[in-house]
Amino acid sequence: MIKLKNVNKYFYKDEDREIHALRDINLTIESGEFTLLSGASGCGKSTLLNAIGVLDGIDSGEIYLDGKEIGSLDEDSRCELRLRQIGFVFQSYNLIPVLSVEENIGFVMRLCGYSEMDIKKRVLEVAKLLKIDDKLNSLPQNLSGGEQQRVAVARAVATKPKIILADEPTANLDSANSKTLIEMMRELNESEGVTIVFASHDELIAKSVRRIVKLHDGKIVDA
């Protein structure tokens, strides 16, 4: 599904020296994987996740999604790709405070032009999977951190994207909520076949995934 070939990204580069954020990354992630990008702070895992999700550009190399090169797309095409094929989960939840849980989950579906009937059906479906169907009329500030992150996951998966990219999704959660979230994301991975890639140093995630890609100083040292 995802293939990176000789991907490089620089913090700094001139004629005399190069400081890499990513160095010669070659990586293939197959459809349906439940995978962790792991390493110490500053190793490049979030940068790599953002490159896969075309949130950030790269300086050289190629990135493919289902055989199509996406690393060199223009910004409009990147936005369309992120909207329809890639779901994102961030540590800060990024929910819209004035919208209910139901409206937050269905937000991207509305941007994509789904009918209200389809939105309502899908929102209820993913809310039940993530055990927040009793919170659909609530506002985000009335939810716990764990519940807010589950809403964020529901929003990410609502459009049935090909891949979900999760950057430190448990960073603001206690161990009990972290464990619950990871278990629910694994259930989504298995029941819906969605590829999920984490960037995290959380040991709970490391114990739950099927594959760990380790990075050090912008390089893959174990995959």
Transcribe 151-205 into DSSP letters: HHHHHHHTT--SEEEEESTTTTS-HHHHHHHHHHHHHHHHHH--EEEEE---HHH
Cβ atoms of residues 108 and 80 within 8 Å: no
Tell me the pLDDT tens digit for each residue of 101-126.
999 999 999 999 999 999 999 999 99
DSSP state of 142: G
Q: Is the dihedral of CA 215, 217, 218, 219 positive or negative?
A: negative
Buried-exposed string 15-35: b where 16+ CB fall within 10 A, e elsewhere: eeeeebbbbebebebeeebbb
Give the residues across from 166 on adjacent strands.
89, 198
Domain residues for the domain of 149 are: 2-222
pTM value? Answer: 0.91
CATH number assigned to the domain comprising residue 37: 3.40.50.300
* Residue 13 binned pLDDT confidence (cut-offs 50, 70, 90): low
Neighbours of 178 (CB within 10 A): 22
Q: Domain total for the chain?
A: 1
Q: Residue type at 159? A: T
The span from the CA of 220 to the CA of 223, in Å, is: 7
Tell me the pLDDT tens digit for each residue of 153-183.
999 999 999 999 999 999 999 999 999 999 9
